[in-house]
Amino acid sequence: MYKKIIGTYYALWPIGAATGSIIGGYLAVVSLSFPILMTFIPLLIASILTFFLKEPPYEKEGHHNVFKHIKNSAKIVINNKQLMILMIGGFILIGFGEAIHLLDQLFFKFKEIPLEFFGWITASTFALSSLGHYLSNSISEKLGNKRTLILSVLLSPLILIIATFSLKYFAIVLFIITSIFFGIRNPITSHLINQEVESKKRATVLSSANLISQFGLAILAPMIGYFAEIYSINQAFKLSAILLLSVPILYLFLKDKN
């Protein structure tokens, strides 16, 4: 049930982000500091809700040495081909994909989109991301995890490349469509990582996967920013999309497990 539940869980935050993008835009008209002040209300509600959480039952490590735990988890990743492929893929996907997300408003400006539409565009990307997360389990159950994952990481950069050649609103529509594939792939990659790791080491291995992904962002995002500075944001997006096409090739070597 993990893939289905985590897909539903992941689908909720983009809805909040989409709502916040729209509401925040109107609040910013009053004052740029007003949206920040109002953010304390949902943060307070979320903080109160955490007190009602219960620790789920799972197998725990017998020792409490954090460094030993990290070392053992690192060995698991290094000695597991499936995990290595998923983590290298995550490094590339987050490195270039998140860079695109961070620079998307420059892309909107390059395509001559009026500023007042930026909030709605961002909300639309989050909404499609939410839909992708929600549909991920049902799609992968029909097509298989590996096939769905490869299609999602293949179609997204292909559509983005077309967007870089397109004009104005059509380019933005294509850009928005790519976000659904982010939603589709996310629960599948988490599910595939979980399949490879026993519960007592799962939290640390998932943390390692997130760490490697963030390294990808720290290393690759400045490269894309530098390329945008030299040429244009459109060319930078095109380069990112081309480099992202290496991931579906990498994922061909994954094993499709039930």
pLDDT at 36: 87
pTM: 0.84
CATH number at residue 136: 1.20.1250.20
Sorted by sequence, the CB contacts under 8 Å of residue 81 that are 6+ apart come out as: 253
Residue 174 resides in a domain: yes
Sorted by sequence, the CB contacts under 8 Å of residue 201 that are 6+ apart come out as: 61, 69, 72, 73, 76
Cα 258 from Cα 255, distance rounded (Å): 10
pLDDT at 50: 94
Cα 212 from Cα 73, distance rounded (Å): 13
Tell which residue, 148, 155, 152, has the closest CA to residue 174.
155
Mean pLDDT (whole number) for 18-28: 80
pLDDT at 208: 82
Residue 258 resides in a domain: no
Residue 113 resides in a domain: yes
Q: How far is CA 237 from the centre of its chain?
A: 17
Burial code of 148-171, b = ≥16 C-beta within 10 A, e = fewer?
bbbbbbbbbbbbbbebbeeeeeeb
Question: How many Cα atoms sit within 13 Å of 33 on the Cβ side?
Answer: 0
Query: What separation in angstroms does the CA of 166 have from each of 17, 56, 107, 224, 238?
Result: 27, 49, 12, 20, 12
Residue 256 resides in a domain: no
pLDDT at 17: 81
Query: What separation in angstroms does the CA of 121 have from each of 6, 25, 193?
Result: 25, 12, 32
pLDDT tens digits along 156-211: 999 999 999 999 899 999 999 999 999 999 999 999 998 888 877 777 788 888 88
pLDDT at 258: 62
What is the tally of structural domains in the chain? 1
Percent of the chain scored above 70 by pLDDT?
Answer: 95
Residue 168 resides in a domain: yes
Residue 257 resides in a domain: no
Residue 17, token pair as written in the block = 């982000």
Parent domain of 21: 2-251
Local structure of 39: helix, strand or coil: coil
Tell which residue, 139, 141, 87, has the closest CA to residue 251.
87
Q: Which range has the worst mean pLDDT, 6-10, 198-202, 213-217?
A: 198-202
Residue 228 resides in a domain: yes
Residue 134 resides in a domain: yes
pLDDT at 66: 67
